[in-house]
Structure 1
């Protein structure tokens, strides 16, 4: 069986340096770490987990929480893509992920209590609900933590540029000649919903475009059904919008369904733009114009930020905003 001494002999570094590199200590250069980890991979070195835990006083486990109201869980496209990227970032340093069961709340045990009992080294939380008490408890705790899709002054957070995304969406529709632009909003308790609505209002005002009160309709928690019901309300208006900016791709897909059900067409009768760029967006008909969230970068930055806290043995409060990008496809068109 390959030992840490074999790795040291192959690379020419001391056993101490090899151990520090494997355990991601900050006082090892990236060049040295890369060479050692390459040897670890080539020689198929597998450290003894119990010995490693005793030596480093770490569990080498990271807790994962996904707080969302739809009950979709790991099938949710945003969660799935972000956590996959996060996993790829931390598994290089041999961390395992421990997913919290959604049944914990039924047993009167909080996520924080559960993870402390399991001895995790840090926690990643994916949560958009600004009012969720469980997420707030995790953010306020002393354990290393990073929260995705929220902003906070009490924890490290990583989130997309929702305001900038709204600006891209509204300005693009305006560049096509649209002046009557409606908004299907996310739920008012969600960070993304609040930010994207705020961005919509601000940029409509900046372009001197009127926003009738009934041009803003809630799509609830970003579901396809929510988008469908919201669009049905918009289609009942006397003064119909020519374009709709939906706060999420699922909302946009539901809106297109409602439009087509009435015998109208996208983009000939209505232009639709979404937000997220889920995998379905480029395969549906019409292909959805949308604002892309860089889920790979969100997960990577979250992983780096959490590892930094774990390695430095201190809680760090930092806000990282990830840029978004306009993806022009087929669901919008010029108007005369």
Structure 2
């Protein structure tokens, strides 16, 4: 089995320098890195994880606490893309991921398990804040994705502005009777989108009938269907609907079709997320794009910085963008 002694001999550098290169220490010249990595490739060296842990006093593990109430886990298009982006970035620094997807968030049992596994850091994705342990007592750095702004070290989209973009677009098209299919209000992102919708409607002096605010639950296709059925029951139907998630929007579009109506001829629809399938619906879905790759990358950068001693706590708000397709029309 090839060892770092073999790499040192072939590269001409000391054991200490080889070890620093393999463990990505910053105080190594580019020339030394190049020569050492050439030797690694030539010898086909694979580092022993147990030995690496002993040498660096790190587990090289990052815990991923994933919690959502829809039941699809990371198969949901938004979360899968965010986590994939996070994974790609931390893998550049030789970290592996330990997934804990128990729909419970960062509660005490999960926290204890992470401590037992000796993780170097943790990213918490869409957990619900009520049952969290005191993170001030955490032995490892923690970064949150899609959690309230008062959480230290968190990354989330500008959800309120996304709702404003949606309402502004519909108003520009001449719509005044605009409804909202909400996500579950206990979810931070959904609550922010509701607030953004109400504020945007108010800024245009547009009333929101109570029956125009309908919950689609946890962002599912079925939830969107049920919500749209309720909206179509209105005597005075909306001409447009801002939907808090693309999967719900696709469900709503199907109900409109089943009712003998058309999108956008009879009702315009705007989603939120810009999941991959949104461009392939009939008609293609106008939506608010979340930069899922940037969310994952920013969370990775923030966590790696904290693991390297950064003590500053801050929130990173990722911009959103209106993507115009075929599901909205001018009146």
Structure-2-length-normalised TM-score? 0.89
Number of the residue aligned with 1:59: 59
| Paired residues of 1:273 and 1:289 also in contact (CA < 8 A) | yes
Post-superposition Cα deviations, 1:86-107, rounded to whole Å, max 9, x if no partner, equal 11101111111111152989xx
Counterpart among 319, 325, 330 of residue 321 in structure 2:
325
Structure 2 counterpart of 1:286: 283
CA RMSD between the two structures: 2.7
Asked whether the 8 Å contact 1:286–1:330 carries over to 2, the reply is: yes
Find the counterpart in structure 2 of residue 334 from structure 1.
Answer: 330
Show CA shifts across 1:120-156 (max 9, x none): 111111115343x14x555863421111111344431
Partner of 1:83: 83
For residues 248 and 129 of structure 1, what CA distance do their matches in structure 2 show? Answer: 18
SS in 2 for 1:210: coil
Paired with 1:180 and 1:254, the residues of 2 have a C-alpha distance of 20
Instruction: Label 1:17 to 1:318 Cα distance change in 2 as closer, same or farther (>3 A).
Output: farther
DSSP 3-state at the match of 1:168: helix
Helix, strand or coil at the partner of 2:308? helix
Q: Does 1:124 align with 2:119?
A: no
SS of the aligned residue for 1:264 comes to coil
Q: Identify which range, 54-63 or 68-77, moves more after superposition.
A: 68-77
Please give the alpha-carbon distance, in whole angstroms, between the structure 2 residues aligned to 1:304 and 1:48.
Answer: 26
**Which of 144, 149, 158 is 1:147 aligned to?**
144
Structure 1 gaps, min length 5: none
SS of equivalent residue, structure 1 residue 20: helix
* Deviation, structure 1 residue 225: 1.2
- Counterpart of 1:181 (choices 171, 178, 181) is 178
Q: Name the residue aligned to 1:202.
A: 199
Structure 2 residue aligned with 1:23: 23
Kindly report which structure 2 residues correspond to 1:1-336, keeping only aligned pairs within 5 A, or say none. 3-4=3-4, 16-25=16-25, 35=34, 39=38, 42-43=41-42, 44-102=44-102, 110-127=109-126, 129-131=128-130, 133-134=131-132, 137=134, 141-312=138-309, 316-335=312-331
Deviation, 1:40, is: 7.6
SS of residue matched to 1:110: helix
Taking a change above 3 Å as real, the CA distance of residues 179 and 317 of structure 1, as seen in their structure-2 partners, is same
**Residues 104 and 110 of structure 1 are in contact (CA less than 8 Å); yes or no, is this contact kept in structure 2?**
no
Normalised TM-score (structure 1): 0.88
Cα deviation, residue 311, structure 1 = 2.0
- Give structure 2 stretches of 5+ with no counterpart: none
DSSP-derived class of the 2:155 partner: strand
Find the residue that maps to 2:190 and give its secondary structure: helix
Partner Cα distance (2:324, 2:171) in 1: 14
Deviation at 1:109, TM superposition (A): 6.6
Moved more, 281-290 or 42-51: 42-51
Are the aligned partners of 2:73 and 2:101 in contact in 1 as well (CA < 8 Å)? no
For 1:275 and 1:9, the matched residues in 2 are separated by: 56
Alpha-carbon distance in 2 for matches of 1:263, 1:141 = 56
Give the deviation of 1:303 after TM superposition. Answer: 0.9
What is the deviation of 1:283?
A: 1.2
